[in-house]
Amino acid sequence: MTAEDRRAHTRAHTRADLLVAGGGPAGLTAAATAASGGLSVVLVDSGHALGGQYWRHPPAGAQMSGTDGFHHDLTAYRSLVDTISGHAETGLVDLRLGHHAWTVRRDEDGIELHVVDRRRPGADRAVVLRGRRLLVASGAYDRQLPFPGWDLPGVYTAGALQALLKGGGVAAGRRVLVAGTGPFLLPVAVGLADAGVRVVGVHEANDPRRWLRHARAVAALPGKAVEGVEYAAALLRHRIPVRVRSTVVAAHGRERVEAVTVARLDRDGRLIEGTQQRIAVDAVGVGWGFTPQLELAVSLGCELIGSEDGNAVVDVDAWQRTSVPGVLAAGETTGIGGALLAGLEGRLAAEGLLREVGCGAPSVRLRPVRRAVARQRAFSRAMREAHPVPAGWPAWLDDETTICRCEEVRHRVVREAVASGASDGRQVKQLTRTGMGWCQGRICGFAVECLARGEVPGVAAPAPASERLVAAPLTLGALARLPSHEVE
Amino acid sequence: MSTSTFRFDGTDIAFVPGQSVGAALVAAGRPSWRTTRHEGSPRGLFCGIGVCFDCLVTVDGFPNERACLVLAEAGQQVSTQEGSGHDR
Ligand code: FES
């Protein structure tokens, strides 16, 4: 047995104080805080480097240069990574990159997180990680609405354009248009322009004047206003045309996208006929806010609540504890709110645990943290209300538009199912196979819910969260190789 | 900045160490590398973060790898995947 094997063996039999699922701002901050307070932590992330989507980095040893320019608050990121690495060296933190969670169990002793080590293609290895508590910090992914041609190569999620840039130093096109809604579109556009891409337009579906209703929430966070002004200046400097109440309603091309049609939207988010305009592009990035990844929380039975953006999110108390004992949640899983809020919530979760087990320094004053959380939450609520999915979006679908990309279910088929009585996403799924493919409805689920209900889900009746963890389709081989001591 | 190559359907694709197979293909001007099971439509990378499964490729003989997640390595054999890979 090598030293590494021995350590792995010991770990399989001991429970860490805290399992952290997700190495983005929330998970990193929680892990660093908890370990610095003396708790043993297992930090799991499916990526090849710490940081999650927000601080997405190339893996260690990568050689592309200059991706740092795409990042905000790099100092905070570096200091967190340094802290984690320091604790990883002493064994207090067990860092598991390239590990995908596929199931989770809870009993009176704690949590068992079943993950697959997928660092090498074809060499999947199943691993069971044990902890007394679990922090769900699994983040979110771009929310999508279908449109004719959205399945053409060259049409990406806004997040994909960002991920290619930050993680791989790759610009997805030379003439790129960015569309959808929300402040996230701005850094995507500016990042592309900084990389030398001609950004032919940012099309924001909502009217920025919607923010005026939330003047107080904005005024409480001058930093956000400065950030906004910086982006505005950068857009101007790069001469990027910004169009509000406008969006992409179709993509055209044969083997790949060659052009898009954009159109104006009225105050209620309905397409204004006659305003369509064709723009030549070789790539498009679209995003309609984000969907939190709740599979771990859902399979553990955590209570969910509705959020203003129509998402279901995990309900947490003042210490980020969910309704299930021993299970905490922080960051986007508790409501889309951005990296700063995620980090603060991760901090609160860890401080709460340290107090609970008595190794905290209750002298640490959390008042300022709580005040900052309150301000950030008010701001993110304003953001979710100012950037809704346009109510009239289904108007830009035609009969043949693909709704479910995995199972290739067209709009016509979904409409027939709704006409024959299917009134929610689940019923449409049973009739048409939407959401039954590889992605399990992560991409089309929200759109199908809209189409089935005939309206956009809201805070009172959010779209149901995806329940099944398919993040790691497991090969039987990996299960067979599961060492016996790691099986129940 | 050094570059290496992997094989993709018989051609060499250059990549910078640290890039995913998908990122390298996009950088090489190939936005698609798969056709869908029912309609044979071309697909490539869509979400870029492992959520959508549009980007499936076969890597060194193993099907259903997400090109946006798998790191490119020198000498790797990458090939297009026809259909969904469900029927492996
Ligand atoms: S591009 Fe979506 S999983 Fe790879």
Name the CATH superfamily, with its identifier, for domain A3-141+291-383: FAD/NAD(P)-binding domain (3.50.50.60)
CB nearest A58 (choices: B18, B36, B37): B18
The 10s digit of each residue's pLDDT in A66-106 is 566 556 678 888 999 999 999 999 999 999 999 999 889 99
Contact of B32 with chain A, judged by CB distance below 8 Å, is answered with yes
Q: Which residue has the tokens 């030398």?
A: A196
Q: Which residue has the tokens 């001058």?
A: A222
The best mutation among B52, B57, B78 to test binding of ligand 1, ranked by most ligand atoms within 8 Å of the C-beta, falls on: B52
The 10s digit of each residue's pLDDT in A183-212 is 999 999 999 999 999 999 999 999 988 888
Instruction: Note whether A387 and A214 are within 8 A (CB).
Output: no
Instruction: Note whether A199 and A407 are within 8 A (CB).
Output: no
pTM for this model (two decimals): 0.92
| Interface predicted TM-score (ipTM) of this complex, two decimals | 0.94
| Domain A392-454 part of CATH 1.10.10.1100 | yes
Ligand 1 centre and the CA of B48: distance in Å?
5
Residue A397 has pLDDT above 80, yes or no: yes
* The two three-digit tokens of residue A388, written as one number: 């809704």
Domain ranges of chain A: 3-141+291-383, 144-288, 392-454
For residue A79, the SS3 value is helix
Q: Diameter of chain B by CA atoms?
A: 42
Contact of A187 with chain B, judged by CB distance below 8 Å, is answered with no
CA distance A103 to A388: 33
Strand order across the B32-35 sheet: B42-44, B32-35, B81-82
Chain A residues with beta carbon closer than 8 angstroms to that of B39: 408
Q: Which amino acid is at A85?
A: S
Min Cα separation A439/chain B (Å): 5
Ligand 1 centre and the CA of B65: distance in Å?
10
Instruction: Note whether B7 and A158 are within 8 A (CB).
Output: no
Residue A65 has pLDDT above 50, yes or no: yes
Residue of A nearest to B62 (CA): A122
From the candidate CATH numbers 1.10.3720.10, 3.30.70.120, 3.30.465.10, 3.10.20.440, the one assigned to the domain spanning B4-79: 3.10.20.440
- pLDDT tens-place values along chain B, 88 residues long: 567 999 999 899 999 999 999 999 999 999 999 999 899 999 999 999 999 999 999 999 888 899 999 999 999 999 987 655 444 3
Question: Is the fold of A3-141+291-383 the same as that of A144-288?
Answer: yes
CB nearest A473 (choices: B31, B64, B70): B64
| In this structure, CATH architecture of domain A144-288 | 3-Layer(bba) Sandwich (3.50)
What does DSSP say about strands A246-252 and A259-264: parallel, antiparallel, or unpaired?
Answer: antiparallel
Tell how many helices (H) and how many strands (E) occur in chain A.
Answer: 14, 21
* Cα–Cα distance list, A165 to A161, A169, A363, A367, B59 (Å): 6, 4, 42, 37, 23
Please report which confidence band the pLDDT of residue A224 belongs to, taking 50, 70 and 90 as the band edges. Answer: confident
Is A156 in contact with B62 (Cβ distance < 8 A)?
no
Residue A485 has pLDDT above 50, yes or no: no
Is B19 in contact with A155 (Cβ distance < 8 A)?
no
Contact of B7 with chain A, judged by CB distance below 8 Å, is answered with no
- Packed helices A74-90 and A25-36: angle between N→C axes, nearest 10 degrees: 50
Counting residues of chain A whose pLDDT is more than 70, the rounded percentage is 91
For residue A84, give the H/E element and its range: helix A74-90
Domain ranges of chain B: 4-79
Residue A176 has pLDDT above 50, yes or no: yes
In whole numbers, what is the pLDDT of chain A averaged over residues? Answer: 90
Is A168 in contact with B23 (Cβ distance < 8 A)?
yes
The 10s digit of each residue's pLDDT in A310-332 is 999 999 999 999 999 999 999 99
Min Cα separation A49/chain B (Å): 10
